[in-house]
């Protein structure tokens, strides 16, 4: 039997082939001994180096606690956990190679574990919800009841199959249950409850709960991840929480090991509102929607704009993305749809008349001026000053987040835009300031940035269509770099050309991979992202792109290459 | 198993809902509240708990309204030398006039010159590290290539491996991704305590008030859980499937596990705890008043943390990398101004475009005064603790108000404001406005950080000042201009 081997970096860089590697059919694996997998030829998709101890994000901690303990609603205790130190430049909250547990966090997790344990055992209904039949049977001995609870709870807490729980861990947890029986003043008359409480405190502080471990041996070779690892990867990618019972069952019966079983589970999860919510969060991160909270148009210039424009625009964004997902839409739909959600507050900004109420309703917009999410109020007001459209930051955002063009940072001490001269438009002012031939500014602004921002000069700082630019004719025609330099007439044209470009769809695939695996893109991902991007460009729905992602070698295998160690203690 | 107590726990039935709420979850128990240690004589507490020097770093972003181009000087004193009422009048530092005799205001603090790709990164990531970026020119994605001085001081001076406190006030996310001034190592940022309530809970640990039997049970629970966690981590770190990077993170986790500590002496008074519970929820705000009130709560916690021996190093960050979310109040009109970053640019923009904000330098001055008043709160808190020698806790260490940048436009890093208060037990001169390395614009900030650490007690084995912190390519020797 052959194995897939890690390829030298050079081979991966040079690989430009779009060929798709189909995973071989495998016998049902034993979780501790992954099956051998065949050799991967150069140019094929393969996994990139990846953390193997992956700490839960704070949101994942909250969701996992709720699901593990079958609570009807979140505890909310994650809000009391110290915020993670997130590296600058990564869009999502789950950089697996960064998240750890320092003193502050360890104490926070300990406090939160204690809060959760108290929350559960002091409420009879909550306590009953976690008890197995054996644990609930008061006719049994304390030891038997504790063992039953541990057998039922621990595999789920550690996200492994029952047979895979380490015997030493079981023994340590049983000891914890015993200690707990006499360790709380308030439970001295009910030692079982005390035992459960300390067991929960310990479980929730256990590294096997706080981290997802992917310990499949690689032996210098590519290795297929175990069924339980796959279940967790899938569940956290789509639901941001631990696998549910059905997914655990699929991991246990081997159905995650073949394409059909994995696809079935992926589609089941995708059909849930939890997946929709997760995808909305991913798009919120890509769109940097949090910045909308800071939108404050000048009251002097835009006195008729809603004072909470940012909040309204964020809600519009959220509903628009949700609708695309609900309808099985594609990324092209997101980029080119001529509809959005409008309320009475935002209708005037779209130039709409009619009976709009406080509720947002799906509304067709004028296709000659509005096309796709970047012609909506969110993007346009988010990247604007209080008074003017901001073509520079619109361009930077599109270049970095939508096309994944690697822009270098601007030099220090950039002089501000000078005042506009008489008879000088906003565009002319920006061009004068940033596109002087021979300057360092010109290199990026003329090619990468400004041509992506100028097409939106027909919208003002609150996203309304405008007729002129400081009394001068609008000029929205530019030549941005997409896959190549193209000519666009304006924002609507740019939306179509973005949707037709390879770069935008490959960039989407990169974001999906980053968000799903919690790591930045690597060169090894290029073949993978090219294929997913091409499928997206061809019209595959967002859901289909994700299913394809999960069925890919990059998601189902792990690299033998270690992550680089950043920094020294 | 170690149990640290600074006051003998006593029991009482005195409880309030607020106090219970503040302390909920400590040690996993609904604590029986002790006699109010906060009402105990402070002198007694200070005598018992205070060690040697300490440092508290209070960070402001975006420079100050100092003389720049056509803008007048609104920050620094008028003349070098002894600080006087006249020299400080009408300048932002006037907010600290009550502590004039305890201040050392520095001029000509110059950061290292590196390609950060961003003026904010050049200050926020560099000011406490004195290091270049990990990757040159990374701009908003930059990280500092070394440990920060607050962490170093904590590592050197704190007992039992306790890390320094790092607290954050204001909205998270944004430019440089929220808390960004404190580093454990190159490229490794530290998580910050954001909610003051959480910071306080971290400080008080298991705050006591339990009977000896209950305390024993609490300790036993903590020990049992820690045993479980340590055992699992040890076994996991032995796995050949983990990378070195994974193991490093697990090692950090293992080092972070601490035995149950009963820090009764670290409790606030009942009134302080009530205030904390009432005001802590405003910690994640864009409102300048709420944000600076959060910083004050952090300062309250910092002062008591130092007084009770919890830490000898604290860093408090206000706002994200460019403090671009926070809107402070106009001191003339009371109105909320534009976000601070816009004001620092003098334009309605995070970039170089946007409409000019009329009078923005004066508005920047108002922000400086807000920070000055907030820093004064820290000095007030530290000065509340009398010391046996007749001075106060403030005199024993250094409270430091520093900035990322020198001025608004263009966010340069020459003549960056650094104000030291307290004198570090007489080691550092006070009551002065001093120019460092006069006549030179060469970087001297690495020397400053080494000098600050040395002043508060971090020394070489032979007792001489350290000179090993920050970029080794730069001079890191002690600055004699600081010596009293």
Q: What is the pLDDT of residue A414?
A: 67
Residues 6+ apart with CB under 8 A from A393: A383, A453, B350, B351
Nearest to B179 among A85, A103, A118 (CB): A85
Distance of CA A418 to the CA centre of its chain: 39
Distance CA B101, CA B53 (A): 19
Distance CA B247, CA B251 (A): 6
- Please report the sign of the dihedral spanned by the C-alpha atoms of residue A552, residue A557, residue A560, residue A564: positive
How large is the average pLDDT for residues A187-208?
97
Q: First and final CA of chain B: distance in angstroms?
A: 42
Residues 6+ apart with CB under 8 A from B328: B288, B289, B292, B336, B337, B340, B366, B367, B370
Q: What is the pLDDT of residue B214?
A: 76
Verify whether the Cβ–Cβ distance A408 to B244 is below 8 Å: no
- Whether ipTM tops 0.85, in short, is yes
Verify whether the Cβ–Cβ distance A408 to B117 is below 8 Å: yes
Confidence class for position B29, pLDDT limits 50, 70, 90 = very low
Residue carrying the six token digits 């916690």: B301
Half-sphere exposure of A87 (CA within 13 A, CB side): 24
Confidence class for position A313, pLDDT limits 50, 70, 90 = very high
How large is the average pLDDT for residues B35-43?
30
Q: Is a pLDDT exceeding 50 seen at residue B451? A: yes
Q: Are B80 and B435 in contact (CB under 8 A)?
A: yes
Angle between helix axes A167-180 and A142-158 (nearest 10 degrees) is 130
| pLDDT tens digits for range B294-324 | 999 999 999 999 998 899 999 999 999 999 8
Verify whether the Cβ–Cβ distance B228 to A182 is below 8 Å: no
Q: Is a pLDDT exceeding 80 seen at residue B212? A: no
Q: What is the pLDDT of residue B77?
A: 98
Residue of B nearest to A175 (CA): B224
Distance CA B273, CA B204 (A): 12
Q: What is the pLDDT of residue B207?
A: 54
Residue of A nearest to B113 (CA): A412
Q: Are A483 and A497 in contact (CB under 8 A)?
A: no
Most confident region among A23-37, A430-444, A450-464, B244-258 by mean pLDDT: A450-464
Buried b (16+ CB within 10 A) or exposed e, A487-513: ebebbbbbbbbbbbbbbbbbbbbbbbb
Q: What is the pLDDT of residue B201?
A: 83
Q: Which of A447, A459, A320 is nearest to A395 (CA)?
A: A447
Nearest to A97 among B119, B197, B245 (CB): B245
Angle between helix axes A58-68 and A142-158 (nearest 10 degrees) is 140
| pLDDT tens digits for range B93-139 | 999 999 999 999 999 999 999 988 888 999 999 999 999 999 888 88
Q: What is the pLDDT of residue B479?
A: 96
Helix (H) or strand (E) holding A282: helix A273-286
Q: For testing the chain A interface, which of B224, B247, B252, B361 should be mutated: the one with the most A CBs within 10 Å? A: B224
Nearest to B214 among A115, A166, A185 (CB): A185
Q: Is a pLDDT exceeding 60 seen at residue B7? A: no
**Distance between A249 CA and the closest CA of chain B, angstroms:** 25
Residue carrying the six token digits 């970096």: A9
Nearest to A207 among B186, B193, B253 (CB): B253
Alpha carbon distances (Å) from A516 to A236, A239, A275, A282, A425: 8, 10, 12, 9, 43
CB atoms within 10 A of CB B81: 12
- DSSP assignment of A152-183 equals HHHHHHHTS-GGGS-HHHHHHHHHHHHHHTTS
Mean pLDDT of chain A: 88
CB atoms within 10 A of CB B377: 18
Q: Is a pLDDT exceeding 70 seen at residue A178? A: yes
How large is the average pLDDT for residues B145-168?
93
Q: What is the pLDDT of residue A26?
A: 30
Six token digits for residue B301 = 């916690």
Q: What is the pLDDT of residue B160?
A: 76
Verify whether the Cβ–Cβ distance B221 to A179 is below 8 Å: yes
Q: What is the pLDDT of residue A109?
A: 95
Six token digits for residue A42 = 């150069």
Q: Is a pLDDT exceeding 60 seen at residue A20? A: no
Asked if B23 has any chain A CB less than 8 Å from its own CB, the reply is no
Q: Which of B256, B260, B251, B121 is nearest to B191 (CA)?
A: B256
How large is the average pLDDT for residues B285-301?
95
Q: Are B452 and B398 in contact (CB under 8 A)?
A: yes
Q: Are B133 and B143 in contact (CB under 8 A)?
A: yes
Q: What is the pLDDT of residue A23?
A: 32
| pLDDT tens digits for range A29-69 | 323 333 343 444 456 788 898 899 999 999 999 999 999 99
Q: Is a pLDDT exceeding 70 seen at residue B204? A: yes
Which residues 213-252 of chain B have a CB within 8 Å of chain A? Answer: 213-214, 217, 220-221, 224-225, 227-229, 231-233, 235-236, 239-246, 248-252
Q: First and final CA of chain A: distance in angstroms?
A: 42
Residue carrying the six token digits 């534009």: B338
Q: Are B367 and B75 in contact (CB under 8 A)?
A: no
Question: pLDDT: is A503 or A294 the higher one?
Answer: A503
Q: What is the pLDDT of residue B262?
A: 67
Which residues 148-207 of chain B have a CB within 8 Å of chain A? Answer: 162-163, 166, 168, 171-174, 176-180, 184-195, 197-198, 201-202, 205
Alpha carbon distances (Å) from A195 to A122, A205, A293, B200, B223: 13, 16, 46, 29, 15
Residues 6+ apart with CB under 8 A from A94: A57, A60, A515, A518
Helix (H) or strand (E) holding A550: helix A542-550
Distance CA A406, CA A412 (A): 18
Distance CA A45, CA A15 (A): 9
Distance CA A463, CA A460 (A): 5
What's the length of chain B? Answer: 484
Q: What is the pLDDT of residue A220?
A: 77
Q: What is the pLDDT of residue B217?
A: 84
Distance of CA B68 to the CA centre of its chain: 28
How large is the average pLDDT for residues A288-317?
90
**Distance between A88 CA and the closest CA of chain B, angstroms:** 5
Of the candidate ranges A59-68, A402-411, A505-514, the one whose mean pLDDT is the lowest: A402-411
Residue carrying the six token digits 């939890």: A274
Verify whether the Cβ–Cβ distance B224 to A97 is below 8 Å: no
Verify whether the Cβ–Cβ distance B232 to A208 is below 8 Å: yes
Pairing of strands B432-435, B336-339: unpaired
Nearest to B191 among A102, A114, A387 (CB): A102
Distance CA B130, CA A389 (A): 38
Q: Is a pLDDT exceeding 70 seen at residue A478? A: yes
**Distance between B284 CA and the closest CA of chain A, angstroms:** 11
Q: What is the pLDDT of residue A524?
A: 87
Residue carrying the six token digits 């149990």: B3
Q: What is the pLDDT of residue B210?
A: 60
Count Cβ–Cβ pairs < 8 Å, chain A vs chain B.
308
Compute chain B's Rg from CA coordinates: 22
Six token digits for residue B103 = 């201040």
Q: What is the pLDDT of residue A455?
A: 97
**In B296-339, which ranges are E strands?**
313-318, 327-329, 336-339
Q: Is a pLDDT exceeding 70 seen at residue B2? A: no
Confidence class for position B177, pLDDT limits 50, 70, 90 = confident
Q: What is the pLDDT of residue A43?
A: 66
Q: Is a pLDDT exceeding 70 seen at residue A339? A: yes
Q: What is the pLDDT of residue B128?
A: 98
Q: Considering only CB atoms, which chain B residues are within 8 Å of A390?
A: 349, 351, 353-354
């Amino acid at each position: 039997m052959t194995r897939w081997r890690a390829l030298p970096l050079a081979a991966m860089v040079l690989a430009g082939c779009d060929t798709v590697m189909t995973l071989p059919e495998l016998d049902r694996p034993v979780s501790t001994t992954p099956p051998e997998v065949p050799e991967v030829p150069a140019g094929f998709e393969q996994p990139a180096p990846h953390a193997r101890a992956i700490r839960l994000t704070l949101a994942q901690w909250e969701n996992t606690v709720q699901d593990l303990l079958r609570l009807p609603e979140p505890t909310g205790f994650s809000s009391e956990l110290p915020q993670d130190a997130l590296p600058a430049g990564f869009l999502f909250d789950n950089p697996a190679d960064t998240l750890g547990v320092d003193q502050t966090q360890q104490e926070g997790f300990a406090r939160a574990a204690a809060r959760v344990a108290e929350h559960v055992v002091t409420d009879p209904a909550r306590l009953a919800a976690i008890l197995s039949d054996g644990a609930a049977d008061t006719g049994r001995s304390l030891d038997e009841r504790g063992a039953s609870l541990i057998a039922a709870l621990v595999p789920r807490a550690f996200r492994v199959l029952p047979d895979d729980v380490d015997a030493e861990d079981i023994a340590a947890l049983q000891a914890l249950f015993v200690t707990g029986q006499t360790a709380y003043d308030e439970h001295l008359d009910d030692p079982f409850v005390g035992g459960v409480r300390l067991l929960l405190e310990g479980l929730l502080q256990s590294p096997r709960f706080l981290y997802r471990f992917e310990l499949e041996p690689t032996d210098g070779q590519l290795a297929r991840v175990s069924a339980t690892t796959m279940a967790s990867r899938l569940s956290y990618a789509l639901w941001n929480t631990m696998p549910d019972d059905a997914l655990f069952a699929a991991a246990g019966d081997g159905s995650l090991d073949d394409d059909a079983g994995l696809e079935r589970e992926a589609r089941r999860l995708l059909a849930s509102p939890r997946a929709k919510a997760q995808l909305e969060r991913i798009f919120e991160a890509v769109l940097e929607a949090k910045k909308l909270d800071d939108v404050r148009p000048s009251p002097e210039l835009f006195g008729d704009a809603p004072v909470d424009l940012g909040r309204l625009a964020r809600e519009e964004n959220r509903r628009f993305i949700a609708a695309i997902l609900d309808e099985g839409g594609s990324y092209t739909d997101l980029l080119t749809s001529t509809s959005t959600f409008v309320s009475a507050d935002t209708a005037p900004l779209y130039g709409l008349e009619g009976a709009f109420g406080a509720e947002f309703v799906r509304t067709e917009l004028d296709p000659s001026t509005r096309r796709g999410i970047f012609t909506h109020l969110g993007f346009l007001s988010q990247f604007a000053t209080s008074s003017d459209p901001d073509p520079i930051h619109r361009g930077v955002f599109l270049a970095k987040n939508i096309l994944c063009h690697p822009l270098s940072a601007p030099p220090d001490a950039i002089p501000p835009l000078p005042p506009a001269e008489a008879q000088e438009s906003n565009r002319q002012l920006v061009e004068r300031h940033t596109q002087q031939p021979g300057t360092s500014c010109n290199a990026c602004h003329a090619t990468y940035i400004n041509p992506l921002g100028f097409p939106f000069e027909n919208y003002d700082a609150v996203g309304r269509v405008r007729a002129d630019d400081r009394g001068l004719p609008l000029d929205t025609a530019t030549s941005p770099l997409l896959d190549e330099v193209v000519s666009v007439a304006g924002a609507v044209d740019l939306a179509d050309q973005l949707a037709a470009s390879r770069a935008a769809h490959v960039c989407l695939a990169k974001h999906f991979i980053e968000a799903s695996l919690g790591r930045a893109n690597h060169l090894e991902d290029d073949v993978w992202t090219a294929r997913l991007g091409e499928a997206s460009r061809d019209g595959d729905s967002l859901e289909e792109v994700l299913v394809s992602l999960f069925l890919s070698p990059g998601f189902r295998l792990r690299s033998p290459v270690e992550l680089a160690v950043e920094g020294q203690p | 198993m170690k149990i640290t107590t600074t006051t003998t726990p006593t029991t009482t039935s005195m409880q309030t809902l607020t106090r219970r709420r503040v302390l909920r979850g400590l040690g996993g128990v609904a604590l029986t509240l002790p006699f109010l240690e906060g009402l105990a004589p402070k002198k007694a507490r200070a005598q018992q708990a205070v060690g040697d020097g300490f440092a508290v770093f209070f960070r402001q972003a975006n420079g100050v309204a100092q003389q720049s181009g056509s803008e007048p000087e609104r920050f620094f004193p008028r003349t070098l030398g002894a600080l006087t009422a006249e020299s400080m009048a009408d300048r932002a530092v006037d907010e600290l006039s009550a502590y004039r005799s305890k201040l050392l205001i520095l001029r000509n603090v110059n950061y290292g010159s590196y390609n950060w790709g961003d003026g904010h990164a050049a200050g926020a990531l560099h000011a406490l590290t004195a290091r270049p970026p990990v990757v040159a020119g990374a701009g908003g994605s930059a990280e500092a290539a070394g440990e920060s001085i607050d962490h170093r001081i904590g590592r050197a001076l704190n007992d039992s491996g306790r890390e320094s406190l790092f607290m954050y006030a204001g909205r998270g996310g944004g430019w440089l991704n929220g808390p960004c001034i404190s580093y454990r190592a190159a490229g490794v940022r530290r998580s910050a305590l954001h909610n003051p309530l959480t910071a306080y809970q971290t400080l008080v640990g298991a705050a006591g008030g339990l009977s000896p039997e209950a305390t024993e049970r609490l300790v036993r629970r903590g020990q049992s859980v820690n045993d479980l966690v340590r055992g699992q981590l040890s076994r996991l770190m032995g796995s050949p499937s983990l990378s070195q990077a994974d193991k490093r993170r697990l090692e950090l986790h293992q080092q972070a596990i601490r035995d149950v500590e009963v820090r009764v002496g670290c409790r606030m008074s009942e009134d302080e705890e009530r205030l904390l519970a009432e005001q802590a929820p405003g910690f994640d705000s864009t409102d300048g008043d709420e944000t600076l009130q959060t910083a004050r709560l952090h300062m309250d916690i910092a002062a008591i943390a130092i007084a009770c021996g919890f830490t000898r190093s604290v860093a408090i960050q206000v706002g994200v990398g460019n403090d671009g979310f926070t809107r402070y109040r106009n001191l003339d009109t009371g109105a909320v101004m534009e976000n601070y970053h816009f004001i620092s640019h003098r334009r309605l923009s995070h970039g170089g475009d946007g409409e000019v904000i009329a009078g923005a330098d004066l508005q920047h001055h108002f922000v400086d005064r807000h920070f000055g008043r907030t820093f004064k709160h820290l000095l007030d808190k530290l000065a509340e603790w009398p010391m046996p020698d007749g001075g106060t806790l403030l005199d024993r260490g250094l409270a430091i108000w520093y900035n990322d940048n020198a001025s608004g436009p263009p966010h340069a890093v020459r003549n960056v404001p650094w104000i030291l208060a307290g004198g570090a037990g007489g080691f550092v001169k006070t009551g002065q406005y001093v120019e460092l390395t006069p006549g030179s614009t060469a970087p001297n900030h690495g020397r400053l950080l080494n000098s600050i650490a040395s002043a508060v007690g971090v020394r070489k084995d032979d007792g001489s000042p350290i000179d090993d912190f920050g970029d080794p390519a730069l001079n890191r020797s002690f600055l004699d201009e600081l010596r009293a």
